[in-house]
Structure formats: structure tokens, C-alpha cells
């Protein structure tokens, strides 16, 4: 694994990479309280199956996140990162909020995107997502890590994992700072204001939507409506999984790889 950073705007964007394949996979993670680099080894382990065919890059958010930062700004940072890395075109996987950034990135910089996988995400606001973001923002403003951890874990994971919320919260919130809470709030506000639904038909690359009916954060319908709007490939997990199905379903990465292989062959 290698790590690095670039200067962008008034801040710094960190990333890490692994794998040695000739193709490029860019992973844009979801909303988190701390930097994704703190989970770098876990991500490498989870997505290590891509290492043979891909060089995998995982991008964090700019730090500090400026006030009023939007998905457009995050997409611009992603473009700056790929240019700095010398990546001409990538397969892009965006999970949750990362899927929102991925959609925006593909719309703004289509020449950089070979294909798009959108996991547990949305293209426009809905009542469930707005209600969840408001709750999380309120807890973050209070800097109440216990309440925030319980709220997040119960919605993000299945009941089996959520029952271990105290253990998981120690991992999620260990060493959290006031700046981390502020950073989280600005990102959550960006989710509330995100809307590219009407622009979706402009996407010129192959798209695979992977959603879950048990999504209590953004809803499974949010994934379905993206697929309907685009007429693209879609797979929906049932209510036995939750929002973070990409962390729990044992066949999730294989579905990604199978689709990417088919898409790559069809394009090449």
C-alpha cells in the first residue's frame, strides 16, 4: 500500500492505493466522521480481490472541508487527484455519499470515467435522507459521540452488527476531534443539497447500480429510480441487508468484478 496527498483549494486531499493491475479503479467512500485513511488496511483487505487486474485508488475528502462545500467541489478535487496521479480514465465505484460524488464527477468530467458503479446512493433528496442527515448533523453539533454512534450504526448496518455498536463506535470515533465533527457536518449538508436527477441522462458511460431494499438512510427506491432513469444495469439486495451492504454482503465485490469484466470486454 502507498499513501499520498495533493494540495487542492485551501486544503489537502489524501489518498491511498494498492494493487498493480493495468486498469484503474477509483473508490469514493461514503460519509464518515474521520478520514478514510484510518481504515486503509481494512479497505485494502476488503477490496484486495481487485489487486491483480487493477491499481486501486481510494480518495479521502479535502481537509479541511470548507463551508458550503458541495458535491461539485468534491468532484473537482477528484479530477485534480486523477490528473496529479496521471490517470487518464478510471472505473469509478462510489458508495453512499461517494456515489453522489461519482455521479457529479462523471457528469463534469466524462472523459475521465470508463464506467460507474453506484452503491447505496441517491441522485436527489428524499424525506428519509433529509431526516437522517438532520439527526446526524444535530448530534455532530452537540459532539455527542455515543448518541451519534448509536444512531449511525443502527441505520448503517444489519441488526447483527448493530448489536455490537459499542465496539464499532470505538473504532469509528476513536480520537475524533472538533474539526472532525465540523468536517462531518459540512459533508452531511452537501448530501442534503445534492440533486443531479434531471442530469442523469447526460451520463455517457456504462452504469451499474447496486442498491438494497433495507436501506434506512437513503432508501432502496433512491437506487431504483437512478436505474429507471438511466435504463442501466441494476442489482437490488433485499431487506436482509442494510445501507452498508457493500461491507456485509459476501458476494458484493464479486458482482462488481463480474460487471466490470463484462463492461470492459464490451467497450474494448
Number of domains in the chain: 1
For 85-124, the pLDDT digits (tens) are 999 999 999 999 999 999 999 999 999 999 999 999 999 9
Specify if 47 maps to a domain: yes
150 phi and psi angles, rounded to 5 deg: -65, -45
Instruction: Provide the pLDDT for residue 167.
Output: 61
* Per-residue pLDDT reduced to its tens digit, 233-267: 999 999 999 999 999 999 999 999 999 999 876 54
Q: For residue range 67-83, what is the model confidence (pLDDT) as tens digits? A: 999 999 999 999 999 99
* CATH code at position 99: 3.40.50.1820
pLDDT in tens, 162-209: 666 566 666 677 778 999 999 999 999 999 999 999 999 999 999 999
- At 268 the pLDDT is 44
**Domain carrying residue 107:** 2-125+195-267
Residue 244 lies in a domain: yes
- Residue 58 in grid coordinates: 481510494
14 assigned to some structural domain: yes
**Residue 170 covered by a domain:** no
Amino acid at each position: 500500500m502507498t499513501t499520498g496527498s495533493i494540495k487542492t483549494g485551501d486544503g489537502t486531499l489524501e489518498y491511498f492505493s494498492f494493487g498493480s493491475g493495468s486498469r484503474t479503479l477509483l473508490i469514493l467512500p461514503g460519509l464518515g466522521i474521520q478520514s478514510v485513511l484510518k481504515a486503509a488496511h481494512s479497505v485494502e483487505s476488503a477490496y484486495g480481490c481487485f489487486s491483480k487486474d487493477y491499481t486501486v485508488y481510494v480518495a479521502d475528502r479535502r481537509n479541511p472541508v470548507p463551508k458550503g462545500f458541495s458535491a461539485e467541489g468534491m468532484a473537482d478535487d477528484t479530477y485534480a487527484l486523477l490528473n496529479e496521479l496521471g490517470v487518464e480514465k478510471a472505473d469509478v465505484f462510489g458508495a453512499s455519499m461517494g456515489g453522489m460524488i461519482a455521479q457529479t464527477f462523471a457528469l463534469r468530467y466524462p472523459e475521465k470515467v470508463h464506467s460507474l458503479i453506484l452503491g447505496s446512493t441517491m441522485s436527489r433528496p428524499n424525506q428519509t435522507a433529509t431526516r437522517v442527515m438532520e439527526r446526524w448533523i444535530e448530534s455532530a453539533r452537540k459532539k455527542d459521540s455515543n448518541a451519534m454512534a448509536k444512531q449511525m450504526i443502527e441505520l448503517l448496518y444489519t441488526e447483527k452488527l448493530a448489536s455490537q455498536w459499542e465496539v464499532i463506535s470505538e473504532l469509528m470515533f476513536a480520537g475524533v476531534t472538533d474539526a472532525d465533527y465540523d468536517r462531518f457536518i459540512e459533508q452531511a449538508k452537501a448530501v442534503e443539497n445534492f440533486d443531479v436527477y434531471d442530469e442523469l441522462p447526460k451520463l455517457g458511460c456504462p452504469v451499474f447500480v447496486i442498491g438494497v431494499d433495507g436501506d434506512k438512510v437513503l432508501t432502496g427506491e433512491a437506487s431504483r429510480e437512478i436505474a429507471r432513469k438511466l435504463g442501466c444495469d441494476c442489482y437490488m439486495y433485499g431487506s436482509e441487508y442494510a445501507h452498508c451492504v457493500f461491507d456485509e454482503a459476501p458476494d458484493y465485490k464479486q458482482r462488481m468484478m463480474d460487471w466490470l469484466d463484462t463492461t470492459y470486454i464490451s467497450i474494448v
